[in-house]
Copies of this chain bind each other. A is one copy, B any other.
Amino acid sequence: MAIIVQKFGGSSVADAAKVNNVANRVVDTYRAGNSVVVVVSAQGDTTDDLIEKAHEINSSPSKREMDMLLASGEQISIALLAMAIEKIGCPVVSLTGWQAGFLTNSHAGNARIHKVDTERIMAELDQKKIVIVAGFQGLDKYDNITTLGRGGSDTSAVAIAAAIHADKCEIYTDVDGVYTADPRIVKSAKKLDEITYDEMLDLASLGANVLHNHSVEMAKKYGVKLEVKSSFEKIDGTIVKEAVSVEKMLIRGVARDNDVARIAIIGLEDKPGIAFKVFSLLASKNINVDVILQSIGREGKKDISFTVTKNNLNEALELLGAEKNALCYEDISHREDISKVSIVGAGMTNNPGVAAKMFEALYEAGINIHMISTSETKISVLVNVANAEKAVQAIHDKFLI
Contacts and interface: CB of A to CB of B under 8 A. Distances in A.
* Candidate in A20, A57, A73, A84 with the most chain B CB atoms within 10 angstroms: A57
Interface string A10-39: 000000100110000000000000000000
Interface string A119-161: 0100000000000000000000001110000000000000000
A57 B75 contact: no
A61 interface: yes
B86 A20 contact: no
A351 interface: no
Contacts of A68: 75, 78-79, 82, 94, 96
B84 A57 contact: yes
Given A61-B86, A83-B54, A72 B72 contact: yes
A75 B68 CA distance: 7
A71 B75 contact: yes
A65 B73 CA distance: 15
A76 interface: yes
Interface string A47-89: 0001001101110011011101101110110111011101100
A312 interface: no
A99 interface: yes
Contacts of A96: 68, 145
List the number of copies, as a whole number.
Answer: 2
A87 B57 contact: yes
Given A65-B82, A82-B65, A94-B68, A58 B87 contact: yes
Nearest to A81: B57
A58 B79 contact: no
Contacts of A61: 82-83, 86-87
Given A53-B76, A53-B80, A79-B54, A86 B62 contact: yes
Interface of A: 16, 19-20, 50, 53-54, 56-58, 61-62, 64-66, 68-69, 71-73, 75-76, 78-80, 82-84, 86-87, 93-94, 96, 99, 120, 143-145
